């Protein structure tokens, strides 16, 4: 099942993808948030006849696939080949940073580089959406706590991230730096989150090619680790790292500029497309 949110920013409605047709779920849930991501509610939605749901006409804006995100948790340097391209050691434990929820936008919304930015970079990542409260969860049971998966572009301002004295959050949390979606694919449609191809293009040129099979810490291991530190709640989003090919890792480095277009995709989870602008 592919759940989607559509409409103007801040006024998104819940929807469901029926093949290529967007259908309205407003009669059944108020929104796609942590409140409706438990297994019982998802089973109820899954049991609906899609043909009975109203068709959404036209081509509305697609919003972030999860509303009212609780925690936006990010794992850094989680692909061995990406760690190598940045000159970093393989981490002993998952590296954790946070992305401000105010960074979250839809999958095709513009990404706006902050004022004075010259080091804005791209990162295609697998997003994991928690469906029920998780604390002290074992890796053997961890995937049972997942509602579904989505595409995330972990846009990063590298100068802010590494040179402004502090933790990575400074370079990760700028407005529009968290495109999420286009849809939330429920976990029953993703039998193995460690076997998904992923890619990102800038202006039609392939920059990142990878697969979730090369993660250092698997989705299950990440959930085990994080739930041992604090409670994960329904609607929390975890991004799980990026494969090689980021601009910072190129020689010489290459960064985004106004007018650039990013296009990214994860197998079975959909595509994103963002045009890059610059705050005045």
Distances (CA, A) of 195 to 167, 192, 198: 31, 6, 10
Structure tokens at 261: 């277009």
Residue 110 has pLDDT above 80, yes or no: yes
Kindly report the average pLDDT of the chain as a whole number: 95
CA angle 117, 118, 121 (to 5 degrees): 95
Residue 82 has pLDDT above 80, yes or no: no
State percent of the chain over pLDDT 90.
89
Lateral strand order in the sheet of 237-239: 21-24, 13-18, 2-6, 184-186, 146-153, 124-130, 237-239, 72-76, 95-98
Residue 85 has pLDDT above 80, yes or no: no
Which CATH number is 72-278 given? Answer: 3.90.850.10
Strand partners, 151: 126
Residue 160 has pLDDT above 90, yes or no: no
Strand partners, 150: 127
What global pTM score does this model have? 0.96
Position 161 scores a pLDDT of: 82
Distance CA(114)–CA(120), nearest Å, equals 9
pLDDT tens digit sequence for 191-208: 999 999 999 999 999 999
Give the end-to-end CA distance of the chain in Å, rounded to a whole number.
41
Position 136 scores a pLDDT of: 98
- Say how many C-beta atoms besides its own lie within 10 A of residue 161's C-beta: 21
Structure tokens at 219: 């989705």
Position 272 scores a pLDDT of: 98
Q: Where do the domains of the chain lie?
A: 2-52, 72-278
Position 280 scores a pLDDT of: 82
- Say how many C-beta atoms besides its own lie within 10 A of residue 121's C-beta: 22
Residue 54 has pLDDT above 90, yes or no: yes
User: What radius of gyration, in Å, describes the C-alpha atoms of the chain?
Assistant: 18
Cβ-contact 246, 208 below 8 angstroms: yes
Position 171 scores a pLDDT of: 87
Q: Which residues contact 276 (CB under 8 A, 6 or more apart)?
A: 110, 111, 112, 113, 120, 256, 257, 258, 259, 260, 261, 262
Mean pLDDT of 89-111: 95
21 pLDDT tier (thresholds 50, 70, 90): very high
243 pLDDT tier (thresholds 50, 70, 90): very high
Q: Which of 109-113, 163-167, 242-246 has the lowest mean pLDDT?
A: 163-167
Position 162 scores a pLDDT of: 78
Position 74 scores a pLDDT of: 97
163 pLDDT tier (thresholds 50, 70, 90): confident
Position 119 scores a pLDDT of: 96
Lateral strand order in the sheet of 111-113: 111-113, 270-278, 261-266, 197-202, 205-211
pLDDT tens digit sequence for 167-176: 788 889 999 9
């Amino acid at each position: 099942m592919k759940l989607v949110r559509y409409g103007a920013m801040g006024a998104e409605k819940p929807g469901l993808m029926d093949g290529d047709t967007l259908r309205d779920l407003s009669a059944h849930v108020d929104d796609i948030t942590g409140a409706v991501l438990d297994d019982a509610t998802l089973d109820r939605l899954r049991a609906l006849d899609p043909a009975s749901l109203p068709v959404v006409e036209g081509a509305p804006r697609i919003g972030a696939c999860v509303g009212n995100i609780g925690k936006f948790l990010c794992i850094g340097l989680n692909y061995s080949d990406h760690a190598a391209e940045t000159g970093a050691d393989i981490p002993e434990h998952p590296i954790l940073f946070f992305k401000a929820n105010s960074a979250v936008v839809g999958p095709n919304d513009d990404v706006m580089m902050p004022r004075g930015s010259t080091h804005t970079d791209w990162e295609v990542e697998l997003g994991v959406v928690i469906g029920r409260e998780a604390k002290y969860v074992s890796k053997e049971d961890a995937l049972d706590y997942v509602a579904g998966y989505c595409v995330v572009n972990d846009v990063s301002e590298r100068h802010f991230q590494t040179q402004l004295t502090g933790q990575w959050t400074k370079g990760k949390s700028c407005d529009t730096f968290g495109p999420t979606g286009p849809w939330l694919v429920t976990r029953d449609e993703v039998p193995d989150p460690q076997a998904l191809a992923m890619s990102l293009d800038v202006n039609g040129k392939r920059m990142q090619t990878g697969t979730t099979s090369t993660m250092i810490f698997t989705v299950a291991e990440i959930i085990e680790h994080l739930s041992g530190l604090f409670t994960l709640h329904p609607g929390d989003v975890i991004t799980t790292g990026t494969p090689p090919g980021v601009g910072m890792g190129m020689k010489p480095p290459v960064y985004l500029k106004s007018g650039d277009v990013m296009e990214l995709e994860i197998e079975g989870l959909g595509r994103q497309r963002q045009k890059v602008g610059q705050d005045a």
